[in-house]
């Protein structure tokens, strides 16, 4: 059995919220908030990511969701923003789960509604 006792993560889509013809303004739009379990970043995963020029900062296990995609932004309990670089669906785990591989973003996005 899988538990999700390590915290809550908010998942955001990155959307262009500029008016037509204006300079693009990428903003975070909340998709959902989920409970998670923090997973260990294994050696194989770490070095495979490094070969692909990706830095793995976190792996979070959440209840299975089909609408979380690479490029979404996750904000777990630490309050930092991370880009979802991979979503995996491990077999044999009850309840059904998704593992989110996360990489820190170099510059934080603004959440929709936080800018004036």
The pLDDT tens digits of the residues spanning 3-15 come to 899 999 999 999 9
Q: CATH number of the domain at 71, please.
A: 2.40.10.270
More confident of the two residues 108 and 46:
108
Domain that holds residue 98: 7-110
* 40 within domain boundaries: yes
Tens digits of residue pLDDT in 15-57: 988 888 888 889 999 999 999 999 887 777 666 767 766 778 8
Give the count of domains, the chain: 1
* 1 within domain boundaries: no
DSSP code per residue over 3-50: ---SEEEEEEEEEE-PPTTSPP-EEEEEEEEEEEEEE---HHHHHHHH
* 85 within domain boundaries: yes
* 56 within domain boundaries: yes
| Res 68 pLDDT > 90 | yes
* 115 within domain boundaries: no
* 68 within domain boundaries: yes
pTM of structure: 0.85
| Res 115 pLDDT > 70 | no
């Amino acid at each position: 059995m899988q538990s999700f006792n390590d915290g809550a993560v908010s998942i955001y889509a990155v959307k262009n919220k500029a008016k037509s013809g204006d300079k693009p303004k990428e903003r975070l739009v909340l998709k959902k908030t989920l409970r998670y379990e923090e997973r260990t970043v294994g050696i194989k995963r770490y070095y495979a990511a490094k070969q692909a020029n990706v830095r793995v900062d976190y792996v979070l296990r959440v209840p299975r969701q089909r609408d979380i995609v690479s490029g979404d932004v996750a904000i777990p309990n630490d309050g930092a923003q991370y880009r979802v670089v991979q979503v995996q669906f491990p077999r044999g785990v009850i309840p059904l789960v998704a593992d989110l591989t996360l990489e820190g973003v170099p510059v934080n996005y603004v959440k929709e509604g936080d800018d004036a």
